[in-house]
Structure formats: structure tokens, C-alpha cells
Amino acid sequence: MRNMLVFCLVVLSTYIFLSDRQPAAMTDNAALQKATFAGGCFWCMEKPFEELEGVSTVVSGYAGGTTENPNYDNYMRGGHIEVVEIVFDPEQVTYQELLEVYWRQVDPTDPGGQFVDRGHAYSTAIFYHNDEQQRLAMASKEALSGSGVFDKPIVTPILPATKFYRAEDYHQDYYKKSSIKYKYYRSRSGRDTFLNKVWKEQKEKKMSSNDLQKRLTPLQYRVTQEDGTEPAFRNEYWNNKRSGIYVDVVSGEPLFSSTDKFDSKTGWPSFTKPLVNENINEIEDYSFFMKRIEVRSAEADSHLGHVFNDGPQPTGLRYCINSASLRFIPVEEIEEEGYSQFLGLFSN
């Protein structure tokens, strides 16, 4: 009887021990989220997302069809399209940032495939996994439609996620395992030729110097176009405590958020990180006989300020930015200004 009691206590203790551990693992996994994008050949869609900090895995596969367990030989007949499934940590990279990367990989105006690959199997699509992803995807698509980047309608559908089927192993990280074949295919697919042309033209649309001088104040022009610096503590936003986002005063591209703003005691607006990483370029600056990292906007190429390694956690960075290079949009005006994809930052 005593042995039986000891045995029961051991079993109960083991159960409690394992039970105590299980929620922790589930909580860790629960912090990760999935995103599913279709952009034509899945070989070309892995690398851009795998390079992002906060992305755990990018897997090529098939989705959207009616058949089970499709493979490379039959997925088209089942109505599936090639997709990548991305597992990411939203604390490190947001779904909005994934969308920004996605749009720069595809031709969203083509309903018949992507570049050299034709047919439904190579069409574009965004598969959302929850209501928030659906909202952000639709807002992002709407913003792209109104941006003038493309002169045709955006036809990429936004669909509820369906069951994902992993593609064969030889398709995974094809750009790494078969780099020569991948480069040969990509160089002849027409993808890079198209994308480079589209996004280069956007940069070339930057206004002439005369036009900018008419639009901007003398200080805004000096800071953004001539790499100037405004006076500390005597600028518009250094002590601004309102909730909202900061966009480029020239182009309107979103740059920073009040959720990442802090008082650096320097007299200039300071942020721990950009709102959209892809909208910021960091360049080595050797002016004034010192080495610094200059911060410029990606689209307008406006001089914004500099970034330093003396900021607070979690990034340890201080983006020290000139108010004259920014335009502040308060949270109550974000939607009407066309930046509704960022409203989720202020929902709590």
C-alpha cells in the first residue's frame, strides 16, 4: 500500500511538473504569427523576407486550391497557387512592414501571373490569418492604389487563409541551394527589370529644386535639401507629446511614430526606431572631421538627421531628427490623411 502511495505521488508530481512547463512553451509559440503571400514563383519570394530581423522561417508551398496534399506535379490542376508562409515575431517586425516588402516584390496589376510565369498558379494574393491582418492588408492595398506608383488598377486579391501545404524540400531556399540556376532564372524572368524600373521612377519623381523652394519654408529646404541642422530646443516637435505619426515633409512617406519618441534632452525630436524600416536609409557621414551615421528618407532622399547608439532600450538607438524634415499627423487625422494602416499602434 505504501509503495502504491509513493508511486501515485511520483506520477502526480511528474504531471504537475510537466503541466507547469507546458503553458510557457505555448506562450512562447503564441507570440509568433503567420503571414501568407503569393507573388508568383516562390523561389523569388523567400529571400526578401528571410533577410528581415524578426522573421523565424519562410517556407515555400501551395495554397488556395481544392485538393489535398498537392505536389509540384499536380498543384495547378487542384487550383492551388505558389505561396510563402512566413512565421514572424510581431514585436520585432510588424505585419505592416511585411506588406511593405511584399508590394515591392510583385506586379500587383497583373491578373494573369507574374512576369515570365503565366497562369493562375503564379498569380498574386494576400492570405490573411485574422481580422487585423485583413484590415491592414486592405488599407495597404488602398494606399498603394492611391500612391500613383502603378498606372493600372491593383488586382491582388485579399483572401482568408486556407490550408498551407509545404512544397518539396528541393524548393526550400532554392536561391541558396541552387544559386547559379536561381540567378539564371531570375535574371531572365523579367521580375528585376520591372521592379527596378517602377521603383526607380518613383525616386525620379522627386520635385525640382525650384518647386521645392516654393513648397517648403527656407528652413525646411535648408535641412532636407542642403543637409542643414535646425537650432536645438527652437524647433517645432522637440517637445511634442501628442500621439501620432511623423512623415517626410517632402514626400509624405511615414518615418516615425510617437509610440517610439522619447525625451533625449538634446532639444531635437528623438526616436528609438523608424516606423517603417524600408523608408529609412542610413549612410556614413564624415563631415566635421568625425564619423556619424546620417539618416535620410528612402523615397524623397531628404536629410533627416543622424542615428546614435546611446538611446534607451529596447533598441539602444537614438534617431535624432530635425523637426523641419517632418510633418506631424495627429492620431485623430491619420485615417483621413491616408495612413489608416498605422491606427493599430494607438488602439490601446
Does residue 40 sit within a domain?
Answer: yes
Residues 185 and 285 placed together within one structural domain of the fold: no
Is the domain of 178 the same as that of 284? Answer: no
Q: Give a yes or no: residue 19 inside a domain.
A: no
Mean residue pLDDT across the chain: 87
- Is the same domain home to 153 and 259? no
Report yes or no on 25 lying in a domain. no
Of 192-196, 201-205, 250-254, which range is least confident?
A: 201-205
**According to the model, what pLDDT value does residue 17 have?**
33
Answer whether residue 79 shows pLDDT above 50.
Answer: yes
Same domain, 36 and 107: yes
318 and 333 share one domain: yes
Q: Are residues 246 and 319 in the same domain?
A: yes
Helix axis angle, 95-103 to 43-50, nearest 10°: 140
> Pick the residue with more confidence: 147 or 166?
166
CATH number at 248 reads 2.170.150.20
Least confident range from 111-120, 129-138, 266-275, 333-342: namely 333-342
From the list 38, 39, 40, 41, the catalytic residue is 41
Length of the chain: 348
311 falls in which pLDDT band (50, 70, 90)? very high
Domain boundary among 179, 203, 227: 203
The question of whether 320 is a catalytic residue gets the answer yes
- 50-56 long-range contacts (CB < 8 A, ≥24 apart) are 50/173, 52/88, 52/93, 52/97, 52/98, 52/101, 53/92, 53/93, 54/88, 54/89, 54/90, 54/91, 54/92, 54/93, 55/86, 55/87, 55/88, 55/89, 55/93, 56/32, 56/87, 56/88, 56/89
Q: What is the CATH number of the domain that holds 137?
A: 3.30.1060.10
Answer yes or no: do 73 and 213 share one domain.
Answer: no
Q: Tell me if 339 is assigned to some domain.
A: yes
The single residue listed with the C-alpha cell 524572368 is: 189
Total structural domains in the chain? Answer: 2
Last residue of a domain, one of 168, 203, 238: 203
Q: Is 41 a catalytic residue?
A: yes
Domain around 64? 31-203
Residues 148 and 69 placed together within one structural domain of the fold = yes
pLDDT at 62: 98
183 and 119 within one domain? yes
Model pTM above 0.75: no
- Whether 248 is covered by a domain: the verdict is yes
Task: Please check whether residues 89 and 238 belong to one and the same domain.
Answer: no
Catalytic residue among 304, 320, 324, 326: 320
Q: Mean of the pLDDT values across residues 28-33? A: 76
On whether both 149 and 128 belong to a single domain, the answer is: yes
**198 in the same domain as 90:** yes
